Structures are given as structure tokens and as C-alpha cells.
A and B are shown apart, each in its own frame.
Chain A
Amino acid sequence: MWKLLGDPLQKLRIDAVNTVYQSSFFLHFGETMDQMPMVNPGAVSWWKI
């Protein structure tokens, strides 16, 4: 059984943003700039965010 630490929805958001970032050359945030801090430019794969 997994024990969820912190806000699981926030974890999902971070994973989603970084998955998109790693799949893009230029990630355009538009009106969602508040999600910009979630990007980990050093991440090498979506499961190592």
C-alpha cells in the first residue's frame, strides 16, 4: 500500500507539468504562469521529477 505524503493533487500537477515540459522544446504557459515554478529543468525523465 502506498502512503500519500502531502497533497496528492499537487503532486499530480507537478508530474503533469514536468511530463509536458520533457515532451516539448518550448513550453508555453499562457494564463497558467503560476505553474511555472513546478518545472524542474534538471529532470531527465518523468519518473525522476
Chain B
Amino acid sequence: MYVECWKKYCQPNWQAYAHKYGHDLICLEHPLDLSSRAKLRSPTWQKCLILSRGFASDYQTVVWIDSDIVINDKAPDVAIGVPANKVGAVDAYEFSEVFPKRVYKMWPDFVQSPTPQVYYRNYGLPDDVDRAINTGVMVLSPSYHRALWSWSTIITRRKAVGNGIWSSGHSLTSCSKVVTSIFWIRAST
């Protein structure tokens, strides 16, 4: 369903965006991790594996975009301005106070995390972090972040063993303040 939807509604504007800024467009149509553990948890976790794929080593910069995102043709090149040693991402809590209230009303089962501190606390992590990111769009540098991404996979796998709530897919955003401190956060998209 996702692949068909992406091809129909996203591929044209993604292709135009990639062409406009000189990027190659690579669509990952299949899970990177086919293990039984991977099948039991959200595909979000697969993002931890993208820099370990062969294609990633061919590029200085990798822009990750979730398949449920439509790009406006006025969008600038997100890779511009992101320091190579940082991960570019969007602040998940920059929205108005109204937004999370509507989200929780729409999805009552959604874990309610009105602030970054509560978000971390809900997932059993130290709450001395004041920001959290949305991983829908990320700018990555394989040479800088491959090891970190592999490391975060190990961390989250260990957590997944100890606490089932981790299987909900909050992998990269929730690792620890050590991980979030390397993010270069852009105000909005």
C-alpha cells in the first residue's frame, strides 16, 4: 500500500525535487532488516540501518524522507547549511499547543507526550533533555554518522529486550541525550 501510494502521490514531486538540487533518488521498497525481531516492531527502526547499506558509502550526504511526505516545489535544498558532523532534523515540539491536543483527540491510543521531558519519561529515559526531533526528514553524513547509527541500533535493541514499550518505534529520537546532542535542529519545514 505504501509503495503504491508513494509512487502515485509522492514520486513525481520527489523526483522533481531531487533533479532540482542534483540529488539521486533512491526508494527503499523492502525492509532492510528481515529478522523476526524487526517484523515485530515498527519499521521506523529500520532508519537506524540506512547508513550501513552499500549505497550510503557512495554519498557525502544522505537525505532521509519518510514515504508519507509530499514535497512542495518551493522547498529549498534541506542539505544546505547542515554541518557535516551534525544530523539535520526538525524539532518535534515547535508546533503550537493546539496541535498535540488535536493529535491526541484524533488518536486516543497515542502515548501523550505534551513536552520533550514527558516524551522521554514515557519511554523510560532520563528527562533532562529539552528537545526531541521528528525523524521524518533527516540530513545525514555517512562518514560521520555510520558508526553512531549502528551504535544507536545496538542501544535500542538492548532497550527493546528490557522494555516492550520501545518496540513502538521511537528509536532514534529517544536514544539518549548523547545522541540528541549531535542533531542540528531546523525550526520548521
Contact = CB atoms under 8 A, between A and B. Distances in A.
Interface of A: 21-22, 24-31, 33, 36-37, 39, 41
Q: Interface of chain B, helix or strand or loop or mixed?
A: mixed
Contact of A33 (B13, B65, B68, B72): B68
B72 A27 contact: yes
Contact of B73 (A28, A33, A41): A41
Contacts, number: 55
Given A25-B72, A26-B189, A41 B13 contact: yes
Interface in B72-101: 72-76, 78
A36 B72 contact: no
Contacts of A27: 69-72
A24 B69 CA distance: 11
B104 interface: no
B59 interface: no
B9 interface: yes
A34 to B, nearest CB: 9
